[in-house]
Structure 1
């Protein structure tokens, strides 16, 4: 039987300030759990997360989490 593959984990780091961006961009950054510049969070990769990252790709750095 094939094993279920675990979803990839992504490390998301806020690298630019949200000052001067739209309210939607600020809300997206907060929804990811980011509050300060250079703060990182680890999230499971999903279609919803990909959409959020596409919206604020100019503010964050995304890396694949190595276990």
Structure 2
């Protein structure tokens, strides 16, 4: 049985280039640990991370880990 505190993990892969994007979008990618194309990181699906992913959803792909 899952506990309340269990948070899913997601894999985030950068698929788009931050060139000619707003500064905030580039900073969001760096904050997520993505700064090069096709780099993948695993993060817990917290509201903060999901909000950051939504901000750059056109530059990343997300899948459950």
C-alpha distance in 2, partners of 1:49/1:15? Answer: 17
1:39-62 CA distance string (max 9 Å, x none): 000000011111101110000000
Instruction: For structure 2, list consecutive stretches of 5 or more residues without a partner in the other structure.
Output: none
**Considering only CA atoms, is the larger Rg found in Structure 1 or Structure 2?**
1
Instruction: Compute the TM-score of the two structures, normalised by the length of structure 2.
Output: 0.92
Aligned position for 2:62: 62
User: Over aligned residues, Cα RMSD in angstroms?
Assistant: 1.2
Determine helix, strand or coil for the equivalent of 2:7.
Answer: coil
Instruction: For structure 1, list consecutive stretches of 5 or more residues without a partner in the other structure.
Output: none
Deviation at 1:3, TM superposition (A): 4.7
Aligned length: 64
Instruction: Compute the TM-score of the two structures, normalised by the length of structure 1.
Output: 0.89
Determine helix, strand or coil for the equivalent of 2:48.
Answer: helix
Alignment of 1:46-61 (within 5 A): 46-61=46-61
C-alpha distance in 1, partners of 2:21/2:2? Answer: 43
Which consecutive segments of 4 or more residues in structure 1 shift more than 2 A? none
